[in-house]
């Protein structure tokens, strides 16, 4: 009986020593490293191609906007003035092109014909006069000087008749092909100028190209907005990811395509699954320096991105994301 009690005591003492030894061993084991990252998301800046004064901001912080939704409007009287100027130039160019294509009016053609007939009649009269003077000169009645003067007047009248005839022909034919093309080109150029200014007018009503939540409003009604200056910023949480900085001696565990189990403290103790989608090709600054160069070396970190495999409710930019690396 005493032997049994002794064996029981020995076994109990051995079990106690083993349990204490195991716990002592666990206490001195290095804790698994906890890698902390944070949530990031796609951000868009909404701005205008033209400068102007902010008229009305149509959204507020926290609003959910859809693609094509009106975000803000600009007041720009200068653009309205440029539009009026461009339209006036287009009307003038169109009128000139139309006139060039249609040619001269019937009244202008008739007037040119009459001028030609008038010059022709004067040339015929001087031709008859010259013949009379020539006969008189042969008969010795008039001097050679008078004959030369009459001949010169006849030549001038013939030149005038020919010039009037050419003007009449040009009036009938209208503008040359090159002139027509040039006029049509100017009309198209003027129409293009109007279209350009009209696009600026449309850009005084700025709409969103993306869906998301309004995160910042940088300018308010009445303030001047420079060209291209971001007036409203939106964040698309449907396009979000986690960013981690991994030490290079652990990088091989986080290859592209690996799935990670993470915890987001702001959302409770639930675990979520992310997938590595990007590993930086260039390392960042050193985060750990060896005190004994014979036993270690300077470590660099590499940025990786991991995206959630499903939509996570209430996820916000900047939330911490924790990975407990057990490998």
Task: Read off the DSSP letter of residue 74.
Answer: E
Residue 103's Cβ-side half-sphere holds a number of Cα atoms within 13 Å equal to 12
Flag whether the pTM goes above 0.75: no
Contact 321/264 with Cβ under 8 angstroms?
Answer: yes
The SS3 of residue 195 is helix
CATH of the domain at 265: 2.40.30.170
CA distance 144 to 137: 7
Angstrom distance (rounded) from CA 119 to CA 9: 149
Q: Are residues 316 and 284 in the same domain?
A: yes
For residue 25, being part of any structural domain is answered with yes
Residue 2 maps to a domain: yes
Which residues constitute the domain of residue 15? 1-29
Task: List CB contacts of 75: < 8 A, sequence separation 6 or more.
Answer: 52, 53, 54, 55, 204
Characterize the bridge pairing of strands 299-308 and 232-247.
Answer: antiparallel
Tell me how far apart the alpha carbons of residues 256 and 275 are, in angstroms, rounded to a whole number. Answer: 8
Mark whether 255 and 267 lie in a shared domain: yes
pLDDT at 284: 66
Ranked by mean pLDDT, the top range of 31-35, 136-140, 220-224, 283-287 is 220-224
- Quick check: helix, strand or coil at residue 161? helix
State the pLDDT at residue 321: 93
Query: Residue 165 domain-assigned?
Result: no
- Cα separation values, 119 from 111, 113, 115, 164, 171, Å: 12, 10, 6, 7, 16
**Strongest mean pLDDT among 106-115, 179-188, 227-236:** 227-236
316 in a structural domain: yes
pLDDT by residue (tens digit) across 299-322?
Answer: 788 899 999 999 999 999 999 999
Judge if 1 and 36 occupy the same domain: no
CA distance 79 to 190: 16
Q: Which tokens go with 122?
A: 């004067």
Residue 215, in any domain of the structure: no
On whether both 43 and 11 belong to a single domain, the answer is no
**Does 241 map to a domain?**
yes
Query: Taking every pair of C-alpha atoms in the chain, what is the biggest distance, in angstroms?
Result: 187
Mean pLDDT (the chain, rounded) = 77
Domain count across the chain:
2
288 with 249, same domain: the answer is yes
The tally of CA atoms less than 13 A away on the side-chain side of residue 54 is 20
Q: Is the pLDDT of residue 194 over 50?
A: yes
Distance (Å, rounded) from C-alpha 37 to C-alpha 267? 15
Q: Is residue 288 part of a domain?
A: yes
Q: Is residue 320 domain-shared with residue 288, that is, in the same domain?
A: yes
What does R_g of the chain's alpha carbons equal in angstroms? 47
Indicate if 236 and 265 belong to the same structural domain. Answer: yes
Residue 167 lies in a domain: no
pLDDT grade, residue 157 (50/70/90)?
confident
Question: What pLDDT, on the 0 to 100 scale, is given for residue 292?
Answer: 46
Burial of 203 (0-12, 13-18, 19+ CB in 10 A): middle
Q: What percent of the chain has pLDDT over 70?
A: 64
pLDDT-derived band at 288, boundaries 50, 70, 90: very low
């Amino acid at each position: 009986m005493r032997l049994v009690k002794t064996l029981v005591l020995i076994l109990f003492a051995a079990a106690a020593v083993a349990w204490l030894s195991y716990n002592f061993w666990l206490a001195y084991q290095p804790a698994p490293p906890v890698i902390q990252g944070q949530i990031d998301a796609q951000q868009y800046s909404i701005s205008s191609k033209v400068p102007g004064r902010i008229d009305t901001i149509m959204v507020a912080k926290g609003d959910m906007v859809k693609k094509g939704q009106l975000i803000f409007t600009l007041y720009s009287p200068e653009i309205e003035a440029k539009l009026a100027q461009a339209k006036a130039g287009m009307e003038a160019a169109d009128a000139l092109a139309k006139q060039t294509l249609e040619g001269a009016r019937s009244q202008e053609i008739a007037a040119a014909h009459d001028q030609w007939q008038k010059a022709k009649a004067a040339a015929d009269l001087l031709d008859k006069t010259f013949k009379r003077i020539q006969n008189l000169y042969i008969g010795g009645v008039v001097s050679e000087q008078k004959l030369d003067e009459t001949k010169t007047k006849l030549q001038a009248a013939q030149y005038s008749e020919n010039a009037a005839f050419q003007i009449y022909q040009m009036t009938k034919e209208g503008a040359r092909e090159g002139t027509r093309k040039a006029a049509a080109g100017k009309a198209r150029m003027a129409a293009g100028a109007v279209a350009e200014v009209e696009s600026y007018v449309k850009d005084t009503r700025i709409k969103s190209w993306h869906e998301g939540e309004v995160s910042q409003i940088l300018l308010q009604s009445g303030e001047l907005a420079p060209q291209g200056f971001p007036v409203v910023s939106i964040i698309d949480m449907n396009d979000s990811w986690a960013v981690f900085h991994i030490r290079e001696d652990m990088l091989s565990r986080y290859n592209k395509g690996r799935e990670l189990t993470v915890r987001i403290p702001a959302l409770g103790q639930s675990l979520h699954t992310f997938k590595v989608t990007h590993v930086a090709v260039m390392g960042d600054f050193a985060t750990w320096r060896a005190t004994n160069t014979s036993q270690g070396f300077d470590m660099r970190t590499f940025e990786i991105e991991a995206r959630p495999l499903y939509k996570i409710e209430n996820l916000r930019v900047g939330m911490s994301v924790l990975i407990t690396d057990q490998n």
